[in-house]
Amino acid sequence: MEQAPDDNKPVAAPTPVLPGSADAAGQRATLGVMGGGQLGRMFVHAAQRLGYFTVVLDPDAQSPAGLVSHHHIQTDYGDPAGLAQLSQQCQAITTEFENVPAQALQALAQTRPVAPGAAVVGIAQNRIEEKAHFTACADVSGVSCGPYAVIETPAQLQAVPADLLPGILKTARLGYDGKGQVRVRTAAELAAAWAGLGGVACVLEKLLPLSAECSVLVARGWDGQVVGFAPQRNVHVDGILAVTHAYEGNLPPALASRARDAAVAIAQQLGYVGVLCVEFFVVDDGSAHGALVVNEMAPRPHNSGHYTLDACDVSQFDLQVRAMAGLPLPLPRQHSPAIMLNLLGEVWLDEHGQRREPNWPAVLGLPGTHLHLYGKAQARAGRKMGHLTITGPDVVSVRTVAQRAAALLGLPGQDSI
């Protein structure tokens, strides 16, 4: 199959941006990021540890990444003046979330290396295009997506095969963390759900009997070099990641190997540059280990990879920095088993919705706990406020501490730890 068009073609093989360097005019080596959320914040920290200056473009004056960056351009993502300023202040640019306008990335790529490029971000922004890509490269990746139907018109709605129900109706764009998704059991419920979503372009996915969910993080450089981490096993509650298991034996070895190979193949077929997360379903098909089905991809570091900050010698954010700057990509080594617990706004709210302070002294008194808060002042239900990673010498001790921490914080999904 053909690869996605390369929107970075004017600067497809950039000169590496070396840490701590300066140009003839005295401008320090600076890396830019579109988006100021927690992923941008952790990217900024990784870049600064290597000696880079950083600049964040985000409209929020109190954005987590903007608060810790050397420079913060407070404009909308499509603002021409803001984009021009970003391009002038840095030598390479990345994005921290997939809903940055692809047109903005395309404009930036005319003057600066942008990783990932607009074309592949555009694919990830649209579930219809994303599933078409997964289907097209299934022969290479060895894994395809589950049964689905595209619904963009009333005629397509009427033509949905009955065997796709029950299913999950998802908007083609802007849906994440369970948003823009409706479970439907019958044709009548499907029609009502599509109308309730405004009749926008959607994908109906057949509801599959899942035995597990997992994700794979890979990083690909401008030269095509690919490295990555072992697959993570993930547990979601209400469509939001709750727990990540990252240790040897979290998945059957043959299944983990297939997922890793498929993620690498998908990145290569895209001509991808940067960190890519590919999420998979493990479907209970009656076999010993289940069947692997690709679900979606994220053109950036991912929530399920936050454990790499504490359990690996090179984190997903270190690889994001290295890939965009044109530096070598070392093979990461995980030195400790880990379990990551997502911390949503509910941790800060009592049963009446009033703010409370979590019992951090008790949590941080547990061995191997690593707390990461994202600098968000207001806690809201469902809002990602931070994460807690537990590492230890073995899986049993890590699981024991993780269960205790989850109980102290009142986290959901405790029975899955």
In a domain, 4, yes or no: no
Q: Which of 67, 92, 53 is nearest to 327 (CA)?
A: 92
Look up residue 117 and give its amino acid. Answer: G
* Domain final residue pick, 124, 157, 175: 124
- What's the angle, vertex CA 270, arms to CA 41 and CA 281, rounded to 5? 75
**pLDDT of residue 5 exceeding 50:** no
Task: State yes or no: 180 annotated in a binding site.
Answer: yes
Task: State yes or no: 158 annotated in a binding site.
Answer: no
pLDDT digits (tens, 9 = 90+) for 26-56: 889 999 999 999 999 999 999 999 999 999 9
Give the integer Cα–Cα distance in Å for 109 and 174.
23
What pLDDT score does 23 carry?
A: 80
277 shares its domain with 405: yes
Task: State yes or no: 208 annotated in a binding site.
Answer: yes
In a domain, 356, yes or no: yes
Residue with tokens 């990551």: 340
pTM, to two decimals: 0.94
Task: State yes or no: 205 annotated in a binding site.
Answer: yes
Task: State yes or no: 234 annotated in a binding site.
Answer: no
Q: CATH code at 42?
A: 3.40.50.20
What pLDDT score does 7 carry?
A: 43
> What residues make up the domain containing 277?
210-416
Task: State yes or no: 170 annotated in a binding site.
Answer: yes
- Which backbone phi and psi does 24 adopt, to 5 degrees? -60, -25
Give the integer Cα–Cα distance in Å for 109 and 120.
13
304 shares its domain with 384: yes
Confidence category of residue 176, pLDDT binned at 50, 70, 90? low
**pLDDT of residue 86 exceeding 50:** yes
Task: State yes or no: 96 annotated in a binding site.
Answer: no
Task: State yes or no: 177 annotated in a binding site.
Answer: yes
